[in-house]
Amino acid sequence: MEKEYSELVKWSDNLSCGIKLLDDQHKGLVALVNEMFNHVTSDETQEHEYFNKVIQEAIKYVKIHFATEEKLMLAAKIPGYIRHKKAHGRFILTVLDNVYDYKIGKRFNLYKFTKFLKDWILSHIALMDKQDFEPIKNTTRAKNSRKFTFSGLQKHLFSLSL
Ligand SMILES: [Fe+2]
Domain residue spans of the chain: 55-159
How would residue 106 be classed by pLDDT, with cut points 50, 70 and 90? very high
Average pLDDT, the chain: 87
Mean pLDDT over residues 81-89, rounded? 97
CA of 79 to the centre of ligand 1 (A): 13
Task: Compute the distance between CA of residue 51 and CA of residue 65 in angstroms, rounded to an integer.
Answer: 20
Are 29 and 8 a contacting pair, CB within 8 Å?
no
Which residue from 114, 126, 118, 157 is spatially nearest to 9, judged by alpha carbons?
A: 118
pTM of the model: 0.83
CA of 128 to the centre of ligand 1 (A): 6
CA of 1 to the centre of ligand 1 (A): 39
pLDDT of residue 139: 75
CA of 153 to the centre of ligand 1 (A): 20
Tally of helices (H runs) and strands (E runs) in the chain = 7, 0
What CATH class is the domain 55-159?
Answer: mainly alpha
Sign of CA dihedral 5, 42, 12, 52: negative
CA of 17 to the centre of ligand 1 (A): 10
CA of 37 to the centre of ligand 1 (A): 22
CA of 32 to the centre of ligand 1 (A): 16
pLDDT tens-digit map of 137-162: 877 454 444 444 445 555 555 554 43
